[in-house]
Structure 1
Amino acid sequence: MYTSEKLANLLSMLDSVPASASEAARRSILDTVSAAVAGLVTPGGKAGREAAIDIWGQGPVPIWLTSARTSVTGAAFANSVAASILDLDDGHRAAAGHPGASIIPAVLAAVHENPALEARAPAAIAIGYEVGIRIAASRDLRRLDTVNSGRWCGQAVAAAVGWLKGLPPRVLAEAISIAGMVAPQMPVAEFTQVGNHVKEAIPHATANGFMSLSLAERGFAGPLDIFDDPRHFSAEALLSGFGESWLIETAYFKPYSCCRWIHAPIDGLVKIMADQKLSFQDISRIRVETFGKGVHTLNNQKAPKTLEAAQFSTPFCLGVTASRGPEALLPMTDPGLLKDHAALLIASLVEVVLDKEMDSYFSAAVPARISVSCGDTVFTETVMAPLGEPTNPMDWDMLFQKFHRLAYHQMRPGAMVDMQNALEQMRAGHLAPLLAELGHFQENCSAVFRPEMRKTKNL
């Protein structure tokens, strides 16, 4: 029996997940919705939902907080774009990637299409995380180019939605295999020097998961031996202990709108400036010692030309933090940041270097040591676990604060209260009110796209 078939059999034997995994899924729903609220009004978010309707046509499933309706695949794609576009979505150390922005829009789209599946949604989300993270973690993250989430989150979607719908093991195995074979391809450089909306191709992989599942349901055969080449995958890592503990419980959350690898130096800079009562004018030099991918994979441009490129620049994000405070990174949507003289000045003073000790912790951790020079005085802070890691968690209250921060400028006050109430009910285990709020336009986001306005309004 192939590994994909063994995995599918394990999935099919699951009737539910533990309460702790369901609660973790609800935390991730809150975080994903928060990220999407901010991402909806970005240029990439707007383009994603317009294209979803062009590609998949009209349908019954809402694109969140808009009047647009499209197919289940189109809605999952568009909502995934909104959730991932600002790099505010959750992640997991074992995968070095982002499951929530793919799996949660997919599962909620499937429930919007068939409300009878609502009760199974949190478990389906937890199962999607388990499959996707295990697939990513069964590869050698140091030897293989595997940190791009689009390589594996489509397989997670196929598993989550397939289990949600109660599909048989054979279909699950074929769908997971198909999704893996046609996963979005990434450039060897991983992060290019040009800011773009594709990034890790998370929305594209989300659509791939739905397409692969539909193909498998109709008898399309996949490469069932996809996980059986030991040069690329460890079958033991993929299958061992499946269902004994749940990886979704150890997901991390982001307080800043930038690559997770930059969060440790940001936390260190914030602490140094607060402890020493520094302003950006006091800083003469910043040195960041971190792991290899944080040095060589990120673009680290000191003067990025786009906000997308800025999300992957340690010097620029530190410049923004020093000059405007970390609040400017939640979210990083102001184009004026790119011309902020103070931020650019501090960015020009930043040096990012490899530290062998820090590198030895990757990918289980993403640490950094930051040294801030003020003339001849140097202040140093080492951050092993940035805010949001399981060992330095953001609790429910902090996640709701993140929602408030992101929704404040996007939603009318009454609509924000309604969404808050729906999210609180979701936290208590009732998903239907949240689905209803996500499907509303007239009472929600104040500046979102209406399909009927495309020909009359310049977006």
Structure 2
Amino acid sequence: MYISEKIAEIVTAVEDLPPSASEATRRCILDAVSAAVTGQGTPGGKAARDGAVSTWGSGSVPVWLSSARSTEVGAAFANSAAVAMLDIDDGHRAAAGHPGASIVPAVLAAVHADPTLAPRAVTAVAIGYEVGLRIAASRDIRTLDTVITGRWCGQGAAAAVGWLKRMSPRVIAEAVAAAGSVAPIMAVAEFTEVGNHVKEAIPHATANGLASLHLAQSGFLAPLDILDDARVFSGSTLLDGLCEDWMIESCYFKPYSCCRWIHAPIDGLMKIVADRNLSFGDITKIRIDTFGKAMTLNNQAAPKSLEAAQFSIPFCLGVLATRGPEALVPMTDLDLLKDPKVLSFASLVEVFFDSEMDSYFPSAVPSRISVSCGDETYSETVMAPLGEPSNPMGWDALFGKFHALASSHLESQQEAGLRRALDDMRMGDLAPLLSELARPAIEPDK
């Protein structure tokens, strides 16, 4: 039996989740919805919505917080784009990627299409994380040409929705194999410095995973031995403890809308300024010593788009210093790109490779920040930025993040209604959340 078949057999035998995994899954759903509230109103989110309807057609499944309706695949694509667009969605250290932006929209689209599936939704999401994250983690991340999420999240989406709809092990195995075989390559991922809406190809991979599931149902055969190549995948990582040691319990959450690899410098700069009662205006130079993958970010001091800004350590520190941390939750103000104070501060930042920091990746994403104020220099090493399992964001922090994201993009009554629905979801009732997500967004009076 091939590994893809073993995975499918184990997955289909799952009946429910342990309480700790169920709790973790509900936090991930909250976080994905929070990210989508703001992401759906961005130019990329709107383009994904309109393009999804044009590509997959009209249907009965809502594109979240809009009047648009598409097919299950089309809505999953658009909602996935909304979650991923601002780079404030969840992730997992062992996979170096972002499962929630794919798995949560895929499962909820299926439940929107068939509300009788709602009682199975939380377990389905956990299964999608479990399969996708294990496939990602089974590779040697340090040797990969890119760690984009689109290479593996579609396989998680296929497994999640396959289990949700009670499909056979054979169908799920074929869908996982097919989704992995034709996953987005994203050849420019480690090269491009042009901000764009493709980003990590998460929506494309999500749609591909669901399409692979439909094809598998129709008898479309895939290379079932895709995960048996020991040169690429670790069989023990894929199978040992599968659906027992739930990986969704060790996801991280992001307090700022930028690449996770930038969060340690942000936390470090805030701590240095607070601990020493410094003014940002006193700073004359900043040095960041970090791991190799962080050096592959564009790190432009003057990015030309907000998407590019999400991948720049100097620019994000410039935003933090001149506008405060709230400007990063989310980073949607186009004026930031031309703000001379932001650009001036960003020009003070230099980024360097550090072999010690690099030795911790991918298990950790640390940085050491050294802040010079004239003749004085202060340093701080951050091993676990806020949101890591060892430095967690609990329910209160995640609801605080929801408010920060929703308050400027939803009218207060609609925000309150969505907040109540998320509370209901936390307690086990998904129906109110589905209803609120199907309502068009009403923006607050400016």
Taking structure 1 as the reference length, the TM-score comes to: 0.95
Once the two structures are superposed, residues 433-456 of structure 1 have per-residue CA deviations (whole angstroms, 9 ceiling, x without a partner) of 100100112xx4328xxxxxxxxx
8 A Cα contact 2:148 2:189, kept in partner: no
Counterpart for residue 190 of structure 1 = 190
Aligned pairs (5 A) from 1:325-336? 325-336=324-335
Once the two structures are superposed, residues 339-384 of structure 1 have per-residue CA deviations (whole angstroms, 9 ceiling, x without a partner) of 1111111111111111111101100100011010000011111100
Aligned pairs (5 A) from 1:434-449? 434-441=433-440, 444-446=441-443
Residues of 1 paired with 2:7 and 2:28: CA distance? 24
Residues of 2 paired with 1:367 and 1:439: CA distance? 40
Aligned pairs (5 A) from 1:251-270? 251-270=251-270
How much does 1:243 deviate? 2.1
Counterpart for residue 342 of structure 2 = 343
Once the two structures are superposed, residues 255-300 of structure 1 have per-residue CA deviations (whole angstroms, 9 ceiling, x without a partner) of 00000000000000011112222222211000001101111x1010
8 A Cα contact 2:146 2:190, kept in partner: no
Counterpart for residue 453 of structure 1 = none
8 A Cα contact 2:146 2:189, kept in partner: no
8 A Cα contact 1:136 1:146, kept in partner: no
Whether 1:291 and 2:298 are equivalent positions in the alignment is: no
Runs of 4+ in structure 1 over 4 Å off: none
Counterpart for residue 150 of structure 2 = 150
SS of residue matched to 1:232: coil
Distance change (3 Å), C-alpha of 1:103 and 1:116: same
Whether 1:433 and 2:445 are equivalent positions in the alignment is: no
How much does 1:189 deviate? 4.7
Residues of 1 paired with 2:412 and 2:7: CA distance? 46
Paired AA for residue 395 in structure 1? G
Counterpart for residue 107 of structure 2 = 107
Paired AA for residue 394 in structure 1? M
8 A Cα contact 1:323 1:343, kept in partner: yes
Q: CA RMSD in A?
A: 1.0
8 A Cα contact 2:364 2:383, kept in partner: yes
SS of residue matched to 2:372: strand
8 A Cα contact 2:288 2:369, kept in partner: yes
Paired AA for residue 418 in structure 1? G
Counterpart for residue 395 of structure 2 = 396
Higher mean C-alpha displacement, 78-87 vs 276-285: 276-285
Paired AA for residue 432 in structure 1? A
Paired AA for residue 265 in structure 2? P
Residues of 2 paired with 1:189 and 1:403: CA distance? 29
How much does 1:145 deviate? 2.6
Residues of 2 paired with 1:312 and 1:445: CA distance? 30
How much does 1:30 deviate? 0.6
8 A Cα contact 1:148 1:190, kept in partner: no
Identical positions, percent:
66
Taking structure 2 as the reference length, the TM-score comes to: 0.98
Residues of 2 paired with 1:446 and 1:73: CA distance? 27
Counterpart for residue 457 of structure 1 = none
Counterpart for residue 311 of structure 2 = 312
Aligned pairs (5 A) from 1:37-436? 37-187=37-187, 189-190=189-190, 192-295=192-295, 297-436=296-435
Once the two structures are superposed, residues 421-444 of structure 1 have per-residue CA deviations (whole angstroms, 9 ceiling, x without a partner) of 111111111111100100112xx4
Residues of 2 paired with 1:207 and 1:279: CA distance? 48
How much does 1:146 deviate? 4.6
Residues of 2 paired with 1:281 and 1:116: CA distance? 58
The unaligned stretches of length 5 or more in structure 2 are none
